[in-house]
Copies of this chain bind each other. A is one copy, B any other.
């Protein structure tokens, strides 16, 4: 059965504290700074677990690095992400859900899924220019 370890809750907490999407490496660094002696492999495992049970969202950075984020809702949603600071806004978009299904159906594709993310520069980062 699944056991409760301080490592797992530490990862969950550290992820909750992040406003932006972060990599396993970044989170590990943060956890070390916080004084925990948690191992890198454990952070990878904990993040993979959180993602698999739907408690964390994941996406690939432009460079192919896996990024994670604790999302406020378990419901399916999308992200608007700042390219500068990583600040992220969550939102739902029923039009998109319907649209994706329709596009798949119209071309004979079944079991549709979709990757929909919007990137930009947030208001705060725009001012700093």
Interface residues of A (CB under 8 A from B): 60, 64-66, 80, 82-83, 89, 91, 93, 95-96, 99-100, 103-104, 107-123, 126
Contact = CB atoms under 8 A, between A and B. Distances in A.
Contacts of A114: 116-119
A107 to B, nearest CB: 5
A76 B109 CA distance: 22
Given A108-B123, A109-B82, A118 B103 contact: yes
B111 A121 contact: yes
Contact of A99 (B66, B93, B119, B126): B93
Contacts of A111: 83, 120-121
The list of the 4 closest CB pairs from A to B, nearest first, reads A109-B120, A108-B123, A60-B60, A64-B64
